[in-house]
Amino acid sequence: MKETAEAYLGKSVSKAIVMVPAYFDDAQRQATKDAGRIVGLDVTRIINEPTAAAICG
């Protein structure tokens, strides 16, 4: 995740907001946060796809 974001943005990334499918349960959301932490990201928020679409759309 981190390498992809840094390649796209062209600069270092340390914090992230991650979008997950709406059907993800709490364990899957926590696993996503943990994966971010493993690669060196501070995942500040997990949002679901419909929320992300409303924010961006």
| Residue 10 structure tokens | 């062209």
One-letter-per-residue 3-state SS of the chain: CHHHHHHHHCCCCCEEEEEECCCCCHHHHHHHHHHHHHCCCEEEEEEEHHHHHHHHC
Taking the domains of the chain in order of start, what are their residue ranges? 2-56
Give per-residue pLDDT as tens, 18-57: 999 999 999 999 999 999 999 999 999 999 988 888 888 6
- Closest alpha carbon to 46 in 38, 54, 55, 30: 30
pTM over 0.85: no
CATH class label, 2-56:
alpha beta
Q: How far apart are CA 51 and CA 57, in angstroms?
A: 10
